[in-house]
Structure 1
Amino acid sequence: MTTARTNNGIASFIFYLLLWSNLVLPRSLYGQTATADHGKRFSDINDLASFFSLDKGPQVIISGHRGSTESGLAENSIEAFDTVLSHHFAFFEVDPRLTKDSVIVLMHDATLDRTTSGTGKLADRTWDEVKSLRLKDRNGQLTDCRIPTLKEAIAWATGKTILNLDKKDVPLPVMAKLLRDLGVANLVMVTVHSPAEALFYRNHFPDQMLSVHAKTEQALQQYIDSGLEMRHMIVYIGSQITPANKALYRKLSAMGIRAMISASSSYDKHGDASERAQAYRAIQEDGATVIESDFPMEVSRALDIK
């Protein structure tokens, strides 16, 4: 018991040391790559909810899907987040997964092969075994980036942006405990795929910012009927422009909620940058107020968002 408490105390000390250095020290002193000129500081949940509200108009907010894979950047890397913020503001969808020894790291795939210099299942490797692996870019070329822990990513993001934590293999109670222990539940967003998941987080953190999956009016109504307070959220409605989106836009707009389309599995796949730019503009014209993309800097240029 004493050893466990000591280890927990050391872990907490390291996190807050990272957080302090992130807020106080120049980044060159602790190994980050660029200056997040376009970062935004959110003081509390009201500040965060105000930013995502539609009260100030429907200007599009950009979400970097797994950070970014532009310009040789590695997905789910702090370097990718940092580079995007040096060009424009975005928040970032990231993928928390567990190592064999229960360290939460950022990794989309269950296996290491596609995105790192390692092989095999992440869940079969300890943190010590994966922390020195190099991340690959979208073309499979090795970079100098390393796999970050979720704690490291949160410490980096605090005072700069918001991380949207997708649901992978981290049990909801484990994630809730981490957010409570770090005191950052109201300074991150969590992705939920069902009313039950949404209610779980809101029962623990009543003001939790949510990224809700609801691709149809019927799916949206299930969240409403569940008793979930429809506030402090964005709603993911799909990956493509469809006629059915119009009804969702109207309903969500009336509720003051932003609708998000993710281009990562659709329009980002266009091989030509000019085609992608046209697609991003079409998404905006269609009525989406959050665009998620593997190419957030391209989206910014296409929509002239600073």
Structure 2
Amino acid sequence: MKYLNLGCGKRFHPSWTNINFSSTDENVIPYDLKKGIPYADESFDIVYHSHLLEHLSKNEAKAFTKECYRVLRHQGVLRVVVPDLEQITRLYINCLDNTSNNFLEQEQNYEWILLEMYDQTVRNQTGGEMINFLSRKDIPNQEFIIKRCGSEFKRIILASQKTDSQKTDSQKIVVDESSIKKLVKHLYRLLRYPEYRHQALLKLILKPIELEALSIGQFRQSGEVHQWMYDRYSLSKLLQEIGLEKIIKRTAHESYISNWTSFNLDTEPDGSIYKPDSLYMEAIKPSL
């Protein structure tokens, strides 16, 4: 059996072929998946990708899914994981209805769900408003967020709280560098890093508003923001349109793939779900 994990980030299994836009480990191959999948037709028995499709435009997503079909062997399995639009919209309505109770935690739940729905689409900087929310000293609805978004967000919250608790008054004092030290550092970066030279040149020739627009444009094309959302109907329709069959909605623990949970891609070693906010869909490539 040959397994392919696309857009794996830092979550992969060493026995699989793992591809990401940039390498995150010696077991991860760097490749721009917008250019296709760099393997021959019918190369893999299993193709998997998680929280990748929503970062592509609707047209790019269809082209990419066709590539998944192309490299999949007949009777092979495609497993797709994306944020669940149906789940989040139903939860949004519930949170909206509960704001009338005037409880702080329920208001925070409503604020968080709005961030989940929109911040990942409209943000112009890394982390957006979601990271600001998670970095708060006190998060009344911490349990709600962790239950909703899983272990990744739990680690972010705990790391932020740990960092804040370790700060002392002396560490919070910002000591300004001397002008000479700043100049030396600036000159070193100009000599050492081409990208730094490029950015320094742009600051000289562009107006502040032009520089800001360029920075936002570069970020928006970096791949972090969400370009589209899917529910069980739209994702099933997409898989059907490219020729797949036996399309089925799954849980994190269910799969056509033998011993699926042993790979710990959608689940943690303790059996908990990595991203509970997800929609899991599988389909099979038909025989000739």
TM-score range relative to shorter protein: under 0.3
- Larger RCO of the pair (alpha carbons < 8 Å, separation 6+): 2
Structure 1 or 2: larger helix share? Answer: 2
> TM-score with structure 1 length normalisation?
0.24
Please say which structure displays the higher CA radius of gyration: 2
> TM-score with structure 2 length normalisation?
0.26
